[in-house]
Structure 1
Amino acid sequence: MDVDALNISIELIPRDTAHLEAELTLVQTSYASINAINIPDLLRLSTRSWEGAAQAGRRFATCIPHIRAIDFNLKQDFGLLDVLDEHGINQVLVVTGDPPQDMNRPVYPTTSLDLIRKLKQARPSMKVYGAIDPYRANFRAEYDYIQRKLDAGADGFFTQPFFDLRLMEVYHELMGGQEIYWGVSPVTSDRSRNYWETKNNAVFPSSFEPTLGWNTQFARRVLDYGATTGTNVYLMPIKVDLKAYLDGIFG
């Protein structure tokens, strides 16, 4: 596995600045193959994604906050560009975003297409990624959605987690050479698998096992696939020990 030729990003959740700093230190000092950081925007946390990305930017050259389109009213001076400039951020991943549990928090009918287009028009040099969800609909519907994001100005894509290389190969053919980060996330319990299947319509192969060993072995296979195809990998270590997961992949 020649990981040196890969771009590998890891998602780190900004639970608080101390926790994020500890994980950034671990990744930087122990896993040199990882060269990018993704920061999700979770409304239950006090740290917004751009704040976490700014913190990560002190250690990593590539830090990509997730931006929730429904949080911004594009009919007004929505302030996002000023915030990104203030934090020195020139790459973002635009997602639609789930409605907040606290309905007193304002949301707007802004789509990811709207925000991608707005950001690229205002900052052509900014790298704006879109999201791919292979389970959202059928192949044709998701392919058409990808094309609309490209038309809006998307520079590349990050995917929801894949659990089967065969499905990944189909999407690679559909992408036609676009920049892509393949999502990989460990599922280590039957409860977690049931969540992915029922809420996100994920598809698992018959060989799947809800163990750390199966998941780290699959991540290594995805890294091999990325190295072979010239694509990138996006690790999302949700609800597992970060060091144990990364040791299983890179150890």
Structure 2
Amino acid sequence: MKVALVGYGKMGHMIARAAELRGHTIVCTVDLFAEDAQCVTSDKKEMVAAIAASGAEGIIEFSHPASVMDNLVALIPTKLPLVVGTTGWRDHLEDVEKLVHDNKSALLYSANFSVGVNLFYRIVSYASRLMADFDEYDAAVFEAHHNQKADSPSGTGIDIAKHIIENLPRKKTIITELGSRKILPEELQVSSLRVGSVTGTHSVIFDSPADTIELTHRARNREGFALGAVRALEWLAAPEAGQGPKTGLFSMDDIFDSL
């Protein structure tokens, strides 16, 4: 497949290597600042023109939370399969879904493309269902990342919290800051730490007066994220059996559910 990359920082370079190892060709790289990108621009029309001229058959977007929405508005109408790994735009999910629907396009998004993290989501969901019958256990989420990460809490941390809330009825609201008050029983706190070069650690804590149960996923490097993003584009670009190209808004859950 001919692939265009929007965002050509550290992650973009890793995705390029992962794609090439799987037999794909990177035909266009776009970035605001990276000097080795083929198209260095902040102009969205110029970006779309460069991608069109390259003959790209799919796009992977790993840019920055500050630019991702403008990128999506420009890229979705190209109708090319689009995988989005940038976080920080979920408040606009309904707007993006409408844009995808109106353009009969296909977009797959995830806060984390790691196979291990997506397995972790399912483990957390199952554990939360078990805890639903044991009121003595409280729950919380903790995540830690390197000090260059632009958003806090991480999109993965929020997704983990959503899996808990969907399966643990006594938790109803996600909070990321307490201020100077006590936490309410129905609130699920997501705590964040930014320090050094931590690739990514996510923990779920179930705590009772008698003991503590912790579930933790630690990423050793970003290679798993890059490979997962490439695999996601492969799945998104593959036609539905007997139904033609995929259209609509998808997540990693759709890939795992199709296995």
Q: Which of the five TM-score ranges fits, normalised by the shorter chain?
A: 0.3 to 0.5
TM-score, normalisation: structure 1: 0.37
Higher helix share: 1
Bigger Rg over Cα: 2
